[in-house]
Amino acid sequence: MTRTLDLEPLDATFGAVVRGVKLATLDDDTWQALHAAWLHYALLILPDQHLSRDQQIAFARRFGPLEFEMAAISNVRANGTLRREADNDDVVKVLKGNMGWHADSTYMPVQAKGAVFSAEIVPGAGGQTGFADMRAAYDALDEATRAKVDGLQAYHSLHYSQSKLGHQHQQGSSYSGYGFHDGPVPLRPLVKTHPDTGRKSLLIGRHAHAIPGMDPAESERFLDSLIEFACQAPRVYHHDWAPGDTVIWDNRCLLHRATPWDMTEPRVMWHSRLAGDPVSEAALARAMQGG
């Protein structure tokens, strides 16, 4: 018998808070219910989890293979000192880049399925994570715009999105360089059909650019206008973190972003990225394009 979860839907077109579940000791019935809720709501928020690194990785693996097990999203160096905004090194530039709406790993050959993300240390103010429902955004398009996007594709590149902030990754920097590859630039449709639910959603965000057949300036304006339209109430939610919170989001139909905080305060988050299915998440076409 499938377990019934204690779910409180958010005041948005998506998302729910889940209470009464401990991810570190999840039985199979609860996992099945949680997975079904994740597909339906796209974002699940589970307060007061306080997962260890190993517990988070073990939970993330229940969704399937991982793109990577664990990465710190943080302004705290390994020696405990803080990276401040004025440092403006590669790590700070990537943290700032993450403040633009995006989906994870659209710039990689296989787009990520989703993420398990948890909070260890949160600042006194700011530092929320925003999420936006691209299913509801697609549904809300007028008929002419929907017909237009149904036939379009865009390239996705971290070189492109970070260059708009004046960021060129330096070899040997403190940032790992993840995503700054020199391989083919993925070409992805602007409309994505979810492989599990069949729902259509917009696949846009800061990494998308250079729609084939469109003037570059026109392409940029059009993509920016789609983000502006899509990322509006009731299709958005910004989460105020508390230490111990864990969230799970579906990267196949949501955009997300960080929000600014005072970098004289520490913020330590842990990100486990769920690998996408190569059949459904691979770029449909690729072309060489300079970064």
CA separation for the pair 11, 133 (Å, rounded): 12
Contact 150, 290 (CB under 8 A): no
Q: Is the pLDDT of residue 82 over 50?
A: yes
Q: What is the pLDDT of residues 136-175, one digit of tens each?
A: 999 999 999 999 999 999 999 887 877 767 656 555 444 4
Q: What is the pLDDT of residues 100-133, one digit of tens each?
A: 999 999 999 999 999 999 999 999 999 999 999 9
Candidate from 52-61, 73-82, 253-262, 266-275 with smallest mean pLDDT: 73-82
Whether 1 is in a domain gets the answer no
Whether 289 is in a domain gets the answer no
pTM of the predicted model as reported, rounded to 2 decimal places: 0.91
CA separation for the pair 247, 252 (Å, rounded): 15
CA separation for the pair 106, 205 (Å, rounded): 9
Q: What is the pLDDT of residue 1?
A: 44
- Compute the mean pLDDT over every residue in the chain, rounded to the nearest whole number: 90
CA separation for the pair 97, 56 (Å, rounded): 25
Q: What is the pLDDT of residue 44?
A: 98
Domain of 236 in residue numbering reads as: 6-277
Contact 216, 210 (CB under 8 A): yes
Count of structural domains within the chain: 1
CA separation for the pair 166, 149 (Å, rounded): 29
Q: What is the pLDDT of residue 40?
A: 98
Helices (H) and strands (E) in the chain, counts: 8, 16
Count of C-beta atoms within a 10 Å radius of residue 62: 14
Beta-carbon contacts of residue 96 (< 8 Å; ≥ 6 apart): 165
What angle is formed at CA 226 by the lines to CA 73 and CA 147, rounded to 5 degrees? Answer: 135
Contact 38, 250 (CB under 8 A): yes
Assign residue 43 the CATH number of its domain: 3.60.130.10
Whether 286 is in a domain gets the answer no
Sequence-ordered alpha helix ranges (H) in the chain: 28-41, 53-61, 90-97, 134-140, 143-150, 158-163, 216-230, 278-281
Q: What is the pLDDT of residues 195-231, one digit of tens each?
A: 999 999 999 999 999 999 999 999 999 999 999 999 9
Q: Are strands 268-274 and 153-156 parallel, antiparallel or unpaired?
A: unpaired
CA separation for the pair 101, 128 (Å, rounded): 13
Whether 76 is in a domain gets the answer yes
Whether 207 is in a domain gets the answer yes
Whether 137 is in a domain gets the answer yes
Give φ, ψ of 19 to 5 degrees.
-120, 160
Whether 18 is in a domain gets the answer yes
Whether 161 is in a domain gets the answer yes
